[in-house]
Amino acid sequence: MAFDTTVKVIGDDVIYQFNPQLKQYALGDTGFVKNNAGSYVMKRSLEPEKGLDNAIKLKVVVDKALTGIKIKTVNPSGNATVNIFKHQKHVELEKLYHFYLNELVDREILKIK
């Protein structure tokens, strides 16, 4: 999956747009960590009672040039996309999902298109 400037997560009606004026320090302030490829990754558990390793996660990745983004909801191992909007616990999952993404909007990392 390539990095894009606008992202729509499977099942979500909201389209998120990457802020092109983003500064690197803003990512560190919001919990992003740099991976071996130089990209910035933030993972958040959507099932906090299970812990990060065993839960469905929100995964947000910003490329190392700070020009694009990927947003996915993934299974506990992180290798498959999960449509949380059709999940049996979708109300709880959606609540945390929107909380985390709204935080990124408030911090001006993302914009709602």
pLDDT the model gives residue 63: 95
Q: Do residues 39 and 46 touch, judged by C-beta distance below 8 A?
A: no
Checking if the pLDDT of 100 tops 90, the result is yes
pLDDT the model gives residue 52: 83
pLDDT tens readout for residues 25-72: 999 999 999 999 999 999 999 999 998 899 999 999 999 999 999 999
User: Using CA atoms, how far apart are residues 35 and 65, in angstroms rounded to an integer?
Assistant: 13
User: Using CA atoms, how far apart are residues 80 and 1, in angstroms rounded to an integer?
Assistant: 12
Mean pLDDT over each residue of the chain, to the nearest integer:
93
Order the strands of the 110-112 sheet from edge to edge: 6-7, 16-18, 110-112
Alpha-carbon distances, residue 92 vs 56, 96, 112 (angstroms): 12, 7, 22
DSSP E strands: which ranges in 11-92? 16-18, 33-34, 40-45, 57-62, 69-74
Share of residues in the chain with pLDDT > 90 (%)? 81
- Both tokens of 66, joined, read 């700070």
Residues 80-86 have a mean pLDDT of 94
pTM: 0.92
pLDDT the model gives residue 1: 57
